[in-house]
């Protein structure tokens, strides 16, 4: 009774990379966004994709979750190629993903509870009451207990984002993807979302990939990172953002991580 | 120490199976002498195995009133997810109801943290909303009030358009010429193919239906009168209006509705440009201008349809058919249709713009706006057409 969606126990050895991006080239027709990007994300890490606006951060995320096809290179999850997998194999792999889109991407014709219940009713055989219980649990985890019957248009942007997170963790994913989680949030809400991401990583044991250019958030939560350079169109550096800020060999990376202000 | 041991598996859990065959979760309850109930959890507590019920714990607590503390214990827990967290939260609530202390014991730290997180923000009590049943008079009253407000808004919107037209007359309304020209092209030139098909077929159909009756008393030639009058006075303006309601009116509602959702209309208002002038006027003008042209085109094709049936099926000579049509029609018949088509054009643009500007801010609302734009247009067209029929009759035109 092997289930490919849940083959690994949560206590997978930390040293095996959960995600490998190998020589990835992203391009739209003739326009190359980024060339030859390679990095690894260890299991349980919070990994940040950094870079200036327009350098292809979100595009990289879209490649990783299979929304866009790579021009060259490969993406591997637990050593299995995602790029080479057929539609069936990809569906099985992406069931382990939870994705939070930039503005939440909640389905506007459904209540919050219905939004969160869609993946559950699609991929589990739970009864309606059981789904309702799990939905309430997920909404409670993101601090939205009691908002089950609200429509996305009736709540604030920060709440929409948290509701999107509740939907992303509906199936207890192994890998969470966040596209600009703090965009459009006030500093306190952004900080609370960071805490929530940390808490979910620690308790669920999930691997987290975040696209971000919010320095405060990057330094607060990232274990590891990759820096995409808009000039040279490739990943020029990677590692712990705090040490990159102080010791990166590339001036562009140091400048980005210090907002171009001279360090005192 | 151990007073009672009880095993509890999930309903589908076959006792013959070993722990490795995917037998889901299992629970052992031990009641200690010091009023302590230990829950030993083992196996896979996963959502895909279904959720556990708390009935076993409930039964033990019911039986033994001396229990003061419930402690969980890792009795061989292989894997877990929300299913375990949800289960333990329910057990905790059960304990809280009876005033019993609850402790997650030596379960993985993540379980306790998630439980704490789920209860960190209290349930917003006033947020929940139930369906309050309302009585018939109340619902009827609400419907009347809603209808009145709707009418009020519709008339106000019409007034805003008229004011906008007034501003345009004195050259103070601001819209981009290119928007107007695009609306003209879209409503006019791009509408020609479908107008061609519909008008030609309507002309053919009217001629066929008329021919069958008129042939019975040898009045074949009057097919020309029938087709001519029907097309110019009624069918041409009605058919073009209905086609444009579906084609252009719905598109207006969807465009403006989407702009509403993206806050584009708010953006116009904030920089001091009237959305009515900027977005609605070019569309209303374009349709008011194009509809009469399409009407003339539609008339011609309708007459052509009649001519085809008359000459090929009824054996009438071409010149005789044309002469009979000239004899049957007066310029008044043409003007009635022409004026109607201008009014219909404005109605279609008005209904589309009104529904679009009043659309809600969701994907679904845009669909609702497009649908109701078509329905509103067609209802308005039919009503106004009936008014025209009564008026022209009274005036003897």
Per-residue pLDDT tens digits for B253-262:
999 998 887 7
Asked if the Cβ–Cβ distance from B82 to A6 is below 8 Å, we say no
pLDDT, tens digit (0-9, with 9 covering 90-100), for A31-53: 888 888 999 998 889 999 998 88
Cβ of B94 under 8 Å from any chain A Cβ?
A: no
At A220, list the tokens: 């607060």
Of B22, B89, B365, nearest to A137 by CB-CB distance is B89
By C-alpha distance, the chain B residue nearest A147 is B127
Domain that holds residue A150: 100-172
Cα–Cα distances (Å) from B333 to A124, B47, B232, B238, B341, in that order, read 67, 74, 6, 14, 13
HSE-up (13 A, CA, CB side) for residue A13: 2
CB contact under 8 A, A130 and B46: no
pLDDT at A127: 87
Query: For residues A16 and B3, which has the higher predicted lDDT (pLDDT)?
Result: A16
Residues of B with CB below 8 A from A146's CB? Answer: 123-125, 127-128
Task: Say whether both B97 and B243 belong to one domain.
Answer: no
Compare all CA atoms of chain A with the CA of B20 and give the residue at the minimum distance.
A1
Query: Does residue B166 sit in the same domain as residue B117?
Result: no
In a domain, B135, yes or no: no
pLDDT of residue A7: 38
Please give the mean pLDDT across all residues of chain A: 84
Q: How far apart are CA B176 and CA A6, in angstroms?
A: 58
CB contact under 8 A, A172 and B109: no
The answer to whether residue B146 is domain-embedded is no
The answer to whether residue B89 neighbours chain A at the CB level (below 8 Å) is yes
Tell me the C-alpha distance between A230 and A236, whole Å.
Answer: 10
Residue A129 lies in a domain: yes
Tokens 């001279």 locate to A262
Q: Is the pLDDT of residue B321 over 70?
A: yes
Domain count of the fold of chain A? 1
Q: Scan residues 133-192 of B and list those with Cβ closer than 8 Å to A.
A: none
B193 found inside a domain: yes
pLDDT digits (tens, 9 = 90+) for B323-343: 999 999 999 999 999 999 999
In a domain, residue A158? The reply is yes
Q: Give the tokens for residue B229.
A: 């009058």
Q: Is the pLDDT of residue B296 over 90?
A: yes
Distance CA B70, CA B54 (A): 13
Interface of B with A in 37-56 (CB under 8 A): 46-48, 50-51
CA distance A108 to A106: 6
pLDDT above 70 (res A8): no
Q: What is the C-alpha to C-alpha distance for residues B209 and B197, in angstroms, rounded to an integer?
A: 18
Concatenated DSSP letters of A201-246? HHHH--EEEEE---HHHHHHH-SEEEEEETTTTEEEEES-HHHHHH
Nearest chain A CA: its distance from B375 CA (Å):
22
Considering only B18-32, B52-66, B226-240, B294-308, which range has the smallest mean pLDDT?
B18-32
Beta carbons of B204 and B257 less than 8 angstroms apart = no
What's the pLDDT band for A12 if we cut at 50, 70, 90? very low
Determine how β-strand A175-179 pairs with β-strand A207-211: parallel
CB B287 within 8 A of CB B187: yes
Same domain, B225 and B366: yes
pLDDT score, position A92: 84
Greater pLDDT, B65 or A165: A165
Which residues in B lie closer than 8 A to residue A3 (C-beta atoms)? 48
Report the relative pairing of strands A17-28 and A224-229 from DSSP bridges.
unpaired
Q: Cβ A153–B128 below 8 Å, yes or no?
A: no
Confidence grade of residue B14 (pLDDT, cut at 50, 70, 90): very low
Q: Considering the domain boundaries, does residue B82 fall inside one?
A: yes
- Nearest by CB to B364, from A109, A125, A133: name it: A109
Q: Do A109 and B363 touch (CB under 8 A)?
A: yes
| pLDDT on residue B168 | 87
Q: Is the pLDDT assigned to residue B90 strictly greater than 70?
A: yes
Q: Is B364 on the interface with A (CB under 8 A)?
A: yes
Number of domains in chain B: 2
Instruction: Give pLDDT tens digits for A127-137.
Output: 888 899 999 99
Tokens of B39: 């829950």
Report yes or no on A144 lying in a domain: yes
pLDDT at B392 over 50: yes
Chosen for mutation from A172, A196, A205 (greatest number of chain B CBs closer than 10 Å) is A172
Whether A137 sits inside 8 A of B85 (CB atoms) is yes
| Domain assignment of residue B136, yes or no | no
- Min Cα distance B192 → chain A (Å) is 36
- Left if phi > 0, otherwise alpha if psi is -120 to 50, otherwise beta: which for B158? alpha
pTM: 0.68
Instruction: Test A153 with B360 for CB contact under 8 angstroms.
Output: yes
Residue A146 domain-assigned (yes or no): yes
Structural domain includes residue B150: no
How do residues B35-45 score in pLDDT, each as one tens digit?
888 888 888 88
Q: Per the domain annotation, does B144 fall within a domain?
A: no
pLDDT of residue B129: 62
* Contacts A202 to B, Cβ<8 Å: 110, 113
Interface test with B, best of A96, A171, A203, A206 (most B CBs within 10 A): A203
Which residue in B13, B55, B85 has the most chain A C-beta atoms within 10 A of its own C-beta, making it the best mutation to test that interface?
B85
Nearest to B297 by CA among B232, B350, B244, B353: B232
- Distance (Å, rounded) from C-alpha B127 to C-alpha B121? 13
HEC assignment per residue over B240-283: HHHHHHHHHHHHHHHHHHHHHHCCHHHHHHHCCCCHHHHHHHHH
Whether residue A105 lies inside any domain: the answer is yes
| Terminal CA-CA length for chain B | 107
Taking residues B281-286, report their average pLDDT.
93
CA gap B96, B88 in Å, rounded: 12
Give first-to-last CA distance, chain A, whole Å. Answer: 59
- Which residue in B has a C-alpha nearest to residue A141's C-alpha? B118
Tokens of A101: 């889109």
Question: Hey, which residues does B28 pair with through a beta bridge?
Answer: B7, B40
Confidence of residue B105 (pLDDT cuts 50, 70, 90): confident
Interface contact flag, B22 A134, Cβ < 8 Å: no
Asked if B118 is an interface residue toward chain A (Cβ–Cβ < 8 A), one would say: yes
End of a domain among B104, B122, B140? B122
Residues B166 and B66 in one domain: no
Mean pLDDT of the region B101-113: 85
Query: Looking at this predicted complex, what is its ipTM?
Result: 0.72
The pLDDT assigned to A157 comes to 83
**pLDDT of res. B217:** 85
CA dihedral in degrees (B344, B346, B352, B358; nearest 10)? -130
**CB distance from B116 to chain A under 8 Å?**
no
> Is residue B304 in some structural domain?
yes
Structural domain boundaries enclosing B341: 157-395
CB-CB under 8 Å, A9 with B127: no
pLDDT for B67 = 85
A188 touches chain B (CB under 8 A): no
DSSP state of B234: I
Let me know whether B105 and B33 are in one domain: yes
Q: For residue A264, what pLDDT is reported?
A: 54
Shared domain check, B191 and B100: no
Identify whether residues B165 and B99 lie together within a single domain. no
Q: Model confidence over B362-377: pLDDT tens digits?
A: 778 899 999 999 999 9
Residues B170 and B269 in one domain: yes
To the nearest whole angstrom, how far is the Cα of A153 from the nearest Cα of chain B? Answer: 7
For chain B, the average pLDDT equals: 86
The span from the CA of B178 to the CA of B183, in Å, is: 8
Cα–Cα distance between B387 and B344 in angstroms, integer? 12
Contact residues on chain A for B50, CB-CB shorter than 8 A: 125-126, 130
Could you give the CA distance from residue B292 to residue B344 in angstroms, rounded to a whole number?
9
Residue B348 has pLDDT above 60, yes or no: yes
CATH code for the domain of B118 = 3.30.750.24
Among B325, B295, B308, CA closest to B235: B295
Closest-CA distance, A109 to chain B, in angstroms, reads 6
Q: What distance lies between CA B167 and its chain's CA centroid?
A: 34
Average pLDDT of the residues in B272-277: 84
Cα(B236)–Cα(B296) distance, integer angstroms:
8
> Comparing A66-70, A78-82, B122-126, which segment has the lowest mean pLDDT?
B122-126
The reported pLDDT for the residue numbered B127 is: 60
| A117 part of a folded domain | yes
Q: Give pLDDT, residue A79.
A: 85
Between B16-25, B295-304, B308-317, the lowest mean confidence (pLDDT) is in B16-25
A264 CA to chain B: closest CA distance, Å?
Answer: 39
pLDDT band at residue A16 using 50, 70 and 90 as cut-offs: low
Contact A126 B81 (CB under 8 A): no
**Closest residue on chain B to A142 (Cα):** B118
Q: Which residues in chain A touch residue B365, judged by CB atoms under 8 angstroms apart?
A: 108
**Is the same domain home to B196 and B94?**
no
E-assigned strands of chain B? Answer: 5-9, 25-31, 36-45, 69-80, 101-103
Rounded distance between C-alpha atoms, residue A177 and residue A25, angstroms? 20
Within a domain: A263: no
Q: Are A26 and A59 a contacting pair, CB within 8 Å? A: yes
A49 lies in a domain? Answer: no
């Amino acid at each position: 009774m092997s289930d490919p969606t849940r083959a690994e126990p949560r206590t997978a050895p930390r040293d095996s990379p959960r995600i490998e991006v190998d020589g990835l080239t992203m391009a739209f027709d003739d326009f190359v966004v980024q060339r030859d990007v390679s990095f690894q994300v260890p299991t349980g890490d919070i990994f940040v994709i950094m870079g200036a606006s327009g350098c292809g951060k979100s595009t990289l995320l879209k490649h990783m979750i299979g929304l866009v096809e790579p021009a060259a290179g490969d993406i591997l999850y637990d050593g299995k190629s995602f790029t080479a997998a057929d539609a069936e194999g990809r569906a099985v792999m992406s069931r382990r993903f939870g994705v939070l889109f930039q503005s939440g991407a909640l389905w506007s014709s459904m209540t919050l509870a219905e939004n969160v219940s869609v993946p559950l009713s699609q991929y589990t055989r739970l009864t309606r009451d059981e789904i309702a219980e799990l939905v309430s649990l997920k909404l409670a985890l993101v601090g939205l207990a009691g908002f089950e019957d609200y429509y996305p248009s009736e709540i604030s942007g920060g709440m929409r984002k948290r509701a999107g997170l509740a939907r992303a963790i509906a199936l207890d994913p192994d890998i969470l993807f966040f596209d600009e989680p703090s965009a459009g949030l006030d500093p306190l809400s952004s900080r609370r979302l960071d805490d929530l991401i940390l808490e979910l990583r620690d308790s669920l044991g999930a691997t987290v990939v975040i696209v971000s250019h919010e320095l405060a958030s990057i330094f607060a939560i990232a274990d590891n990172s990759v820096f995409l350079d808009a000039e040279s169109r490739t990943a020029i550096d990677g590692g712990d953002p705090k040490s990159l800020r102080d010791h990166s060999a590339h001036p562009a990376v140091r400048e980005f991580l210090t907002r171009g202000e001279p360090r005192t | 120490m151990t007073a009672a041991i009880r095993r509890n598996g999930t309903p589908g859990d076959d006792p013959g199976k070993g722990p490795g065959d995917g037998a889901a979760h299992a629970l052992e309850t031990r009641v200690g002498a010091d009023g302590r109930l230990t829950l030993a959890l083992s196996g896979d507590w996963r959502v895909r195995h279904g959720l556990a019920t708390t009935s076993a714990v409930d039964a033990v607590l019911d039986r033994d009133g001396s229990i003061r503390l419930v402690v969980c214990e890792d009795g061989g827990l292989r894997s877990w997810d929300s299913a375990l967290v949800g289960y333990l939260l329910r057990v905790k609530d059960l304990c809280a109801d009876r005033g019993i202390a609850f402790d997650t014991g030596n379960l993985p730290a993540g379980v306790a943290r998630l439980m704490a997180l789920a209860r960190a923000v209290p349930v917003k009590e006033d947020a929940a909303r139930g369906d309050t049943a309302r009585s018939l008079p109340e619902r009827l009253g609400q419907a009347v009030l809603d209808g009145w407000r709707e009418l009020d808004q519709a008339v106000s919107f019409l007034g805003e358009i008229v004011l906008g037209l007034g501003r345009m007359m004195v050259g103070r309304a601001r819209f981009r010429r290119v928007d107007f020209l695009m609306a003209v092209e879209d409503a006019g030139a791009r509408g020609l193919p479908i107008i061609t098909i519909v008008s030609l077929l309507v002309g053919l159909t009217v001629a066929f239906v008329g021919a069958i009756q008129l042939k019975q008393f040898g009045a074949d030639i009057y097919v020309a009168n029938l087709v001519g009058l029907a097309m110019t006075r009624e069918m041409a303006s009605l058919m073009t209006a209905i086609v444009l309601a579906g084609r252009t009116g719905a598109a207006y509602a969807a465009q403006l509705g989407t702009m509403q959702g993206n806050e584009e209309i708010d953006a116009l208002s904030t920089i001091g440009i009237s959305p009515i002038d900027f977005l609605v006027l070019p569309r209303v003008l374009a349709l008011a201008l194009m509809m009469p042209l399409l009407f003339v085109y539609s008339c011609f094709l309708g007459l052509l349809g009649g001519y085809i049936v008359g000459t090929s099926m009824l054996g009438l000579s071409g010149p005789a058919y044309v002469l009979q049509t000239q004899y049957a029609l007066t310029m008044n018949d043409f003007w009635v249709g022409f004026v109607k088509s201008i009014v219909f054009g404005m109605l279609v643009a008005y209904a589309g713009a009104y529904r679009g500007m009043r659309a809600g801010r969701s994907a679904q609302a845009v669909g609702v706006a497009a649908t109701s734009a078509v329905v509103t247009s067609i209802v308005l067209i039919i009503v106004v057409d009936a008014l025209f029929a009564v008026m022209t009759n009274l005036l003897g035109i």
